[in-house]
Structure 1
Amino acid sequence: MWGIGTSSPPGDSYGVLPWPCRALVLLNPQSGTGRALEDFQAVVQPMLAEADIATTVFITERPHHAHEKVRDEDLSQWDTLVVMAGDGLLYEVVNGLMERPDWEETMKKPLCILPGGSGNALAASINHYAGNDHVAKKKLLTNCTFILCKGLHTQMDLVSLSTASGKRLFSFLGFGWGFISDVDIDSEKYRWLGNARFTLGTLQCLAKLRVYQGPPGALPTDSLLVPPCQPVPAHWTVVPEEEFVSVYAIYQSHLGTNLLMAPAAQLHDGCIHLFYLKAGISRVALLKIFLAMARGTHLDLNCPHLRYVPVRAFRLEPRAATGIMTVDGEVLVWLSAGSRGPTGSSHIPFPRQPGASWSPATGPCPGACLGGHYSGCLV
């Protein structure tokens, strides 16, 4: 797999939503514990009404419903799109927008994420970037809604992924393979527990700890990119052939509401924060890492099996099609993939302004890669 990132323009620039504001709210009532609609009506709607933000609510009824809605709908009647669900629904929305013939213009429209799912990684990251104290559940929802009411938006990194079949996907959170993805997907059946599902999933995956083969190659942040179809160049850092427990490339600070995985990450730092866990780590040591991640202090443990590298690109070449791969918490079908990623632009609520528009790169090339490029926005 390939992952490629480019630096966004330096400094923070801010855009402002029009006033009064018209918002299309895409809401999944089944997200998380199934309280998204109730929480929207009790917490979000009164705050938006006070802020003079008029809402049109679209309730999803099936998988890909939001994807189809934003892909096919005339969106000119709304000033912003608001997603009230988990990260998976925003993933649908971003990819639906990118399939539109007018995607370049539409991706300038601000997007907002309000936490209504289990993990709520992007919402937790935005709350963190805003300088707020760590909170969860309704307090996090209130904070994110207040950010939307302020009406400011800013740049956010976005990654492009392409498969050998020609399909292109777009990611705002991260790509994972191994233990972390196993926990995320295997715990889906406990989603009614909310964020606690990840604790239970972690314990279950620890009991049946798996290892994988597929050394990642990484491009340092100060190096030049090469076409993703070419072999790994000599100036790349290549991890020796060995077994791994998990590989995760994250572009935001939080992996979940209570998991501060990349404390140094920023919304538009143009950096892929690559973590990998080598095989041989004990279950106790692995559990300590995830407990410390709640405070963002896991790197302070100096665990010899945990590696962290900030990179502009990475290549992952699994030796076998085993384990679960995820993009923004959604399962990625095992397909060889590759492309040179586009530079992106998207918007979501937080105090900050839109970045440069993108032009997608040419089609995919053979090989096992996952491609991406950075530049986007967050309201």
Structure 2
Amino acid sequence: MMDRDKTEPDPSHHRNGIVGLLYGEFTDILNGKVRCSVSLTDHALTVQKITSSPGQGKVVFDLNDCIGCHAFKGEDNADTAAYFSAYFYPFKRKWLSSAMARQRLEQCFRVALAQDPSANLEEAERWARAIRDASFRHLPRRDGAVYCEVRRPCRLMLLLNPNSGRGQAMSLFTTHIQRMLTEAAVPHTLVITEHQNHARELVREADLSQWDALVILSGDGLLFEVVNGLMEREDWEVAIQTPLGILPGGSGNALAASVNHYSGTPMLLGEELLVSCGFLLCKGLLSPMDLVSVHLASGQRLFSFLALAWGFVADVDIESERYRQAGALRFLLGTLVRLASLRSYRGRLAFLPVHQEPAAEQEGRVARLVASTSSISSDNDSSPSTSPPDSPNSSFCSAMSCGPLTDSSPPCSALCPENSVHSSSPSPNDNNTLHNASNNAIKLLQAGSDQTTSLIKGPPDSLLSPLDEPVPADWTQVPETGFILMLAMYQSYLAEDLQAAPEARTQDGCIHLYYVLEGVSRAALLRLFLAMEKGTHMACECPQLVYHQVRALRLEPLSTQGALTVDGEQVECGPIQAQIHGSVARLISS
């Protein structure tokens, strides 16, 4: 019950030089005998039990942690009172741990200002509206980043893969996300994907004017489908500006972990990471996101938001599929298995550094590094075995061919993405070659009955030469050598618990290129991955680990072993190149 509701500011706020927005006295819904004074300012909702001793029973709720507030009538028709509930997700210490995570907290009040139910409901709605407005004036923003807000109310298409991770995505939605979106008054339509590339097909054909954002509850693979579906549209320039959101429901959840990291929150796993990303989704801040265009040997062009991997990391990603039911532990199991049978991969690597230095100096430095690491002796445990190199006189896979994978892998045609084009190595007179167009976009000349030329959609790749031509003269070339892994990152996390590129941000305009040369011991490699949990692997001073910030790269695998992945999805083997495109997409982040 409530005796009075004052609309004037809280006097205590006058004394402190702060004018409150609203002040009132209400009954605590959890204890009908306790009355509380409630004051709302621009920054906080303060609740003080009137029956408490001075200074006791006071709780301050930070509006940064509020995602919504609702007003409603009681279930009992004889009850003339109305109610309003505010929903907060503050950081609280986890049970038996010093770590912090967001935990749900609801604060509900009973409004009984008059005998007229409509008057009470009007007052409750006034409070709910004021709390919502104040909470959205204080959003979690990262220093130095430029933001805009998703329009409100935000109409979401939420795409859910029921088979991702351990098959718990639907349960995660009903347990956490559905309630959070209701609390934040975010209308949404749930779409359950039914087969591979279903999401890609949906967004490619959808009327995007019906949606203010596309949100993924799955692993990173479903967002890969959505990004490429948007980029395949005729109106790709407008379509890719549709805000994208990510909620972790898979086993890797690298982008979700990165989004959590960008908000300044320590590493979280499992449902705690889901709640953190759900909170950021409800807050609705948008930040620009870079995309990377990737050219495969077949001529197919893909768009990537996360990472390109070859060698050890890619092998672990693909081979650990057999441990999918273990969730995030699949990667640990896969890492241990691959460490036990460590191998190196022959290849050539070239890149365009962000910070240019004289080409001769670059190449000399890289050559000295390759020479020095190849002569470094291993630790006492066994050194990695090296795959037999191809004949010194043989050339690497041509730009239009697809080389073999491991002996245990299925034929390459079964692994290549849909619509890939395979052919034998082209002769100089073939029509199936890659050429630079006058507008600097790379065009694929497809041999067909009409001999038409179709422009690949997306921004032009002005930094790249066709794959069957040498890289530009200002690129740095790593001499042909043995690699343990190559990892090109554009987000900070590679998995929930692997901070592979701690300096990466959604819009930094560069690819964070890491590679490890052969000669590293199993023990040293294991130390690198353990340090990667905290993003401190560069401090390990491993001489075989090399890091560059680059704008474009080309990889030419020479070994017959090893997988190649884009955003965790296996693609055809063979030469591959990529270029960063700054701020092409928009991500619901912080």
Aligned counterpart for 2:586 among listed residues 332, 347, 368: 347
> Corresponding residue for 1:242?
481
> Corresponding residue for 1:3?
none
Bigger RCO (CA 8 Å, 6+ sep): 1
| Correspondence list, 1:44-55, <5 A | 44-55=177-188
| Correspondence list, 1:219-368, <5 A | 219-223=352-356, 226-229=463-466, 230-337=469-576, 345-351=584-590
| Correspondence list, 1:197-212, <5 A | 197-212=330-345
| Correspondence list, 1:55-134, <5 A | 55-134=188-267
> Corresponding residue for 1:38?
171
Aligned counterpart for 2:300 among listed residues 158, 167, 188: 167
- Which SS does the other structure have where 2:260 is aligned? helix
> Corresponding residue for 2:388?
none
- Which SS does the other structure have where 1:345 is aligned? strand
Deviations 1:294-349 (A, max 9, x none): 11111111011111111122221222443100000000112545687766622221
Please give the alpha-carbon distance, in whole angstroms, between the structure 1 residues aligned to 2:578 and 2:269: 37
Please give the alpha-carbon distance, in whole angstroms, between the structure 1 residues aligned to 2:556 and 2:576: 11
Q: Percent identity?
A: 52
Assess if the C-alpha contact under 8 Å between 1:165 and 1:337 holds in 2.
no
- Which SS does the other structure have where 2:319 is aligned? helix
Please give the alpha-carbon distance, in whole angstroms, between the structure 2 residues aligned to 1:159 and 1:319: 23
Note the C-alpha offset of 1:20.
1.4
Using the TM superposition, name which of 138-147 and 227-236 deviates more: 227-236
TM-score, normalised to structure 2, is 0.56
Assess if the C-alpha contact under 8 Å between 1:161 and 1:341 holds in 2.
no
- Which SS does the other structure have where 2:179 is aligned? helix
Letter in 2 for 1:120: N
Assess if the C-alpha contact under 8 Å between 2:552 and 2:577 holds in 1.
no
5+ unaligned residues in a row in structure 1: which ranges?
Answer: 1-9, 352-379
Deviations 1:271-314 (A, max 9, x none): 11111111121111111110111111111110111111111222
Deviations 1:10-40 (A, max 9, x none): 9522121122111000000111111111011
> Corresponding residue for 1:358?
none
Please give the alpha-carbon distance, in whole angstroms, between the structure 2 residues aligned to 1:301 and 1:328: 26
Using the TM superposition, name which of 22-31 and 207-216 deviates more: 207-216
- Which SS does the other structure have where 1:40 is aligned? helix
5+ unaligned residues in a row in structure 2: which ranges?
Answer: 1-142, 358-461
Letter in 2 for 1:32: G
TM-score, normalised to structure 1, is 0.86
Using the TM superposition, name which of 196-205 and 333-342 deviates more: 333-342
Over aligned residues, Cα RMSD in angstroms? 1.9
Letter in 2 for 1:310: Q
> Corresponding residue for 2:96?
none
Please give the alpha-carbon distance, in whole angstroms, between the structure 1 residues aligned to 2:304 and 2:237: 16
> Corresponding residue for 1:16?
149
Kindly indicate whether residue 276 of structure 2 is the aligned counterpart of residue 143 of structure 1: yes
- Which SS does the other structure have where 2:166 is aligned? coil
Using the TM superposition, name which of 170-179 and 300-309 deviates more: 300-309
Please give the alpha-carbon distance, in whole angstroms, between the structure 2 residues aligned to 1:341 and 1:196: 31
Please give the alpha-carbon distance, in whole angstroms, between the structure 2 residues aligned to 1:167 and 1:315: 15
Using the TM superposition, name which of 175-184 and 235-244 deviates more: 235-244
For the pair shown, the structure with the greater C-alpha radius of gyration is 2
Assess if the C-alpha contact under 8 Å between 2:214 and 2:245 holds in 1.
yes
- Which SS does the other structure have where 2:523 is aligned? helix
